[in-house]
Structure 1
Amino acid sequence: MLAIISQIAIGATDLVAAFLFLFGLKRMSSPATAASGIRVAGIGMVAAVLVSFLYVFTIDAAARPHLIVNLVLAVVALAIGGGFAWIVGRKVAMTAMPQMVAIYNGMGGGAAGGIAAVELFGNRATGTTHLVVTLLGALIGAVSMSGSVIAWAKLQGVLGAPLRFGGQRALNGVVFVAALAVGGWMVFTALSGVPPVLPVATWILIFFGLALLFGVLMTLPIGGADMPVVISIYNAFTGLAVGFEGYVLGNPALMIAGMVVGAAGLLLTLLMAKAMNRSVANVLFSNFGEAPAKAKPGAVTGTERETQASDAGIQMRYASSVIIVPGYGLAAAQGQQKLYEFVKLLLAAKVQVRFAIHPVAGRMPGQMDVLLAEAGVPYDLIFQLDDINADFATTDVVLVIGANDVVNPAARTDKSSPIFGMPILNADMAKQVYVIKRGQGKGYSGIVNALFYKPNCDMVYGDAQAVLIKMIEAVRGLGAAAA
């Protein structure tokens, strides 16, 4: 009777958890409800984890003593992992959020791969479908794990420039095909009775080794400008791996959560690739930042003109309309609070102020939206590229803070540029542009920005937060002088 009650409780909780995942994801689609959506999905996850302990009552009584050890280990693992994540999550800086998301996503892929490893080493994967799905989850999870670790290392600065060498794509292809071949051989020998030549455990280790190696090789040559898309891709991979292993375990909550995450990650990846006017294959298998071999890079004419922060602040105070384009430099300087303080001064002076967000601004999907939300910027002031791009031509002043490729007019005019054809924010079409930048030089992607040399563009060099403080002081000084 206890076993039946436990089965019913598990099934009902899994159903409720799946609903909470979907409902939470729906609420995450809007900045106004995203926080509550995360909490709702979190409740679903906690419920799914806790109810899994009821499986102890559905197992044969003779096997329960051995299960006690596993239950203790599970509780210890949850305490250590949950405690560590809680502490790190509360302390992590906004600039470190992309790498935190990357490494935690990699842990999800690793967990899926771990489930697959237990099934394979324990010889529990029986039947063609069961074995194939287990191997698919293992392959995708391992690739996501090792690839996410490399993405973390790039974002953290542990690894430098993209690693590229001759024959790299061919090597990647050979490793991937080899992983598929080993997996196919494992299925064939398991179902046909043909001797596997090497011990089964050896084949499993070779399979995982090739999958992990492919994730590393696939990510090493990818440039920093593509990191938002890469993070999104590995997020989709992890979701798919979790969904496959949910099928292996017969766990509906894992299947639904994994497939929802996988589908959402895939759609986000496609949308971001479209925002860069590139295919996903181009992101993964091309050397971003290198001009075409036959193309002659267009010459950038003019000089960068420097102005003072106070002059730029006063100019915006007397403008009728201002559009602000935030980039990673704003996050690096942790200047979002000072930016909103400056915006409130402009709004009080009856200046129309709006924020323009490019889909791939920052180093992970949605980073700029989160940054502004953290500062308390009202959602009705934040606009996406398609909704605001036509307004730049009639705007008095555009303030660009730490952004580079997303406002580079070379994307429209220079066919030799690696970003040619990428939709950009039309900041250069405004009457006046001010760019806050830490110093002269190229952006994260290594591409010279033609905007900085336009006659309507002035550079304000310095840390974004320090510059914004000077702008605030200049605008407040106007009020004090008037009084």
Structure 2
Amino acid sequence: MLSQGFVSAAAIAASVLFILSLGGLSNQEKAKRAVWYGIIGMAVAVFFTALGPGIGGYWLMIPMIIIGAVIGTRLARRVEMTEMPQLVAALHSFVGLAAVFVAWSADLERRRVLAERAADGMMQEFSAFAALVATKAPDELMFLQVEVVLGIFIGAVTFTGSVIAFGKLAGKVDGKPRQLPGGHLLNAGAAVLSLALAILYLNGAGFWTLLLLALLAFFIGYHLIMGIGGADMPVVVSMLNSYSGWAAAAIGFTLSNDLLIVTGALVGSSGAILSYIMCKAMNRNFVNVILGGFGGTQGPAAEIEGEQISIDANGVASALNDAESVIIVPGYGMAVAQAQSAVSDLVRKLRDAGKEVRFGIHPVAGRLPGHMNVLLAEARVPYDIVLEMDEINDDFATTDVVIVIGSNDIVNPAAQEDPNSPIAGMPVLKVWEAKQVFICKRGQGTGYSGIENPLFFKDNSRMYYGDARESINALLPMME
């Protein structure tokens, strides 16, 4: 066993590595090194925590670590980038459920310690946590109870919310916003009952209060995320990331583990900041996001006039050969088709021909923050031509050709033109201002969010139907 001082020093080192990891992820060129900081930090955290004072049960711990490592490795090798958003949501659910289990266990240990104290004043068998509880004064035990309540509530909301988010992202649950009759009143009622149960528990009620509290929080998490539409799922994933961080911090307080507190606070605060930034990018109210009150229709949508006109590969290639400036706007359809390498080849040919080629990236493109940036970096697209929405939006009016690959909501003019649209007020890429717009899309459907897009019917827009990778590859032999 290592001394507590040594474990604390290791915790500080791991915390520094986590901070460096988060800081490095803000820059594409430093991201790989930042990931390694996080990996090393987590390895240090797990190793030195496992060897800390009062830790035992290695006969169970070591097999569980090995099993988890094997499962994690297999998943990492099998999961495609297109499935990364739902994988992240699933991992968030694990953190939330762990918080619930730890909080339940903590209260059972607290009750056992108090019962044995009352019986003979002696503890017959000390677990690491029981030993910790046994040293606490009555007022400190009250703080422990508060931590238990917070851990259960935040963890349970995170668990079911993340499970529903996983289902929506994976297409196993309908992406449209759905709520039970009563809507937000049900959430409010469940929250009030949760508060009442917490008060009863803090005043000495039995373990049943924690079980009911968890059930109510499970319902709140489920109902909150079910009420959010598919168009807003990137914000939901970021929000659940924040929730999972606070759940981890709650576990840290319960176990008196400084590293968990620091790590949870880092994840929770960074997730909250990212959610706020994304809400600003979508013109959403942050409080509404937390309460699950957005993503639904606002009224009858405006009627769309015109028709969708298709074009073949020859027509698109001819326009690209004649163009001087090209902007490519990728979306989730590019990820689904794994078309990033084909897009990179197209960019290389266009640039070799002396054309100006850039990418326009919306903050919520794809189903995970930074999704498109990661795919393009994987395909070795130069960082300097990948521009954010604010950097490129004014340039569409002077651009010859825009190619939209699998995007819908982020290029939807209804966000600015139709106050009844579910995405009304959301800042979008103004691709329709370009001379010509080609939309690479599988078919005429409304896409994941179910929102019709007037862009597809505009006079300067043409629909280039087909699988994104096959469609882009079809253009390559025709480029001059």
Task: Provide TM-score, normalisation by structure 2.
Answer: 0.91
Alignment of 1:391-410 (within 5 A): 391-410=395-414
Partner of 2:297: 290
Q: CA deviation at 1:54?
A: 2.0
1:314, 1:471 within 8 Å by CA — same for their partners in 2?
no
Would you say 1:101 and 2:88 are equivalent positions? yes
Asked if 1 retains the 8 angstrom alpha-carbon contact of 2:327 and 2:399, the reply is: yes
- How many angstroms apart in 2 are the aligned matches of 1:399 and 1:35? 29
Give the C-alpha shift of residue 285 in structure 1: 3.3
Partner residue of 1:111?
98
Indicate conservation of the 8 Å contact 1:99/1:152, yes or no.
yes
- Distance, in Å, in 1 between the alignment partners of 2:298 and 2:445 is 18
CA drift of 1:147 comes to 0.7
Task: Give the corresponding residue for 1:261.
Answer: 267
Maintained 8 Å contact 1:289/1:447: no
Matched, 1:472 2:459: no
Match of 1:141 among 152, 155, 170: 155
Provide the rounded CA distance (Å) in 1 between the counterparts of 2:170 and 2:432.
Answer: 31
Q: Say whether residues 1:33 and 2:30 are aligned partners.
A: yes
Question: RMSD of aligned C-alpha atoms?
Answer: 1.6
Question: Is contact 1:435-1:460 (8 Å) kept?
Answer: yes
- Provide Cα deviations, 1:412-468, integer angstroms capped at 9, x if missing partner: 111221212110001011111110010012122111111111111111011101100
**Equivalent residues of 1:270, 1:280 under 8 A apart:** yes
Amino acid at match of 1:132: V
Q: 1:290-318: per-residue Cα shift (whole Å, max 9, x none)?
A: 133xxx43221111111112321231133
Q: Provide the residue aligned with 1:54 in structure 2.
A: 51
What is the total number of aligned residue pairs between the two structures? 451
Are residues 1:15 and 2:12 paired? yes
Q: How far apart in 2 are the matches of 1:41 and 1:212?
A: 30
Whole-angstrom distance in 2 between the partners of 1:458 and 1:274: 31
The answer as to 2:90 corresponding to 1:86 is no
Superposed CA deviations along residues 333-390 of structure 1, whole A, max 9, x for unmatched, are 1111111011100010011111111011111111111111111111111111111111
User: Which string of whole-angstrom CA distances, capped at 9 and with x for unpartnered residues, describes residues 236-264 of structure 1?
Assistant: 01101111221222222111111010000
In 2 relative to 1, CA 8–136 (structure 1 residues): closer, same or farther, beyond 3 Å?
same
Matched, 1:75 2:90: no
- Counterpart of 2:76 in structure 1: which amino acid? G
Equivalent of 1:413 in 386, 408, 417: 417
Q: Distance in 2 between matches of 1:246 and 1:166?
A: 38
Instruction: Indicate if the aligned counterparts of 1:289 and 1:445 stay in contact, CA closer than 8 A.
Output: no
C-alpha distance after superposition, 1:386-406 (max 9, x if no partner): 111111111111100010011
Of residues 40, 45, 50, the one that matches 2:42 is 45
Native 8 Å contact 2:21 2:35 kept in 1: yes
- Measured in 1, the distance between the counterparts of 2:50 and 2:411 equals 52
Q: Which residue pairs with 2:210 in the alignment?
A: 204
2:280 to 274, 277, 282: 274
For the residues of structure 1 that align with 2:381 and 2:257, how far apart are their CA atoms?
41
Q: Which of these residues, 377, 385, 389, is aligned with residue 385 of structure 1?
A: 389
Identity of aligned residues (%): 41
Equivalent AA in structure 2 for residue 181 of structure 1: A
In 1: Cα distance, 2:203 partner to 2:207 partner: 15
Give distance in 2, aligned partners of 1:342 and 1:468: 7
> 1:361·1:367 contact (CA, 8 Å) conserved in 2?
yes
Is 357-366 or 157-166 further displaced after alignment?
Answer: 157-166
SS of the equivalent of 1:136 reads helix
What is the aligned partner in structure 2 of residue 62 from structure 1? none
Name which of structure 1's ranges 119-128 and 29-38 shifts more when overlaid on structure 2: 119-128
Partner residue, 2:459: 455
Match of 2:429 in 1: 425
Shift of 1:289: 3.9
Is the Cα contact below 8 Å between 2:400 and 2:434 reproduced in 1?
yes
Give matches, 1:204-353, under 5 Å.
204-283=210-289, 284-286=291-293, 288-292=295-299, 296-353=300-357
Matched to 1:133, the amino acid is: E
**Secondary structure at 1:33 match in 2:** helix
Q: Does the CA contact (< 8 Å) of 1:438 and 1:461 recur in 2?
A: yes
**Post-superposition CA distance 1:92-142 (Å, at most 9, x none):** 012111100100111122222222121112114953322212211221111
Match of 2:366 in 1: 362
- Partner in structure 2 of residue 192 of structure 1: none
What is the DSSP-based 3-state SS (H/G/I as helix, E as strand, rest coil) of the residue aligned with 2:28?
coil
The one-letter code sitting in structure 2 at the alignment partner of 1:53 is A
Deviation at 1:287, TM superposition (A): 5.3
- The alignment partner of 2:29 has SS state of coil
Q: 4+ residue stretches of structure 1 with deviation over 6 A? A: none
CA contact (8 A) 1:289 1:446 kept: no
Counterpart residue identity of residue 371, structure 2: Q
Mapped to 1, the partners of 2:378 and 2:448 lie a distance apart of 24
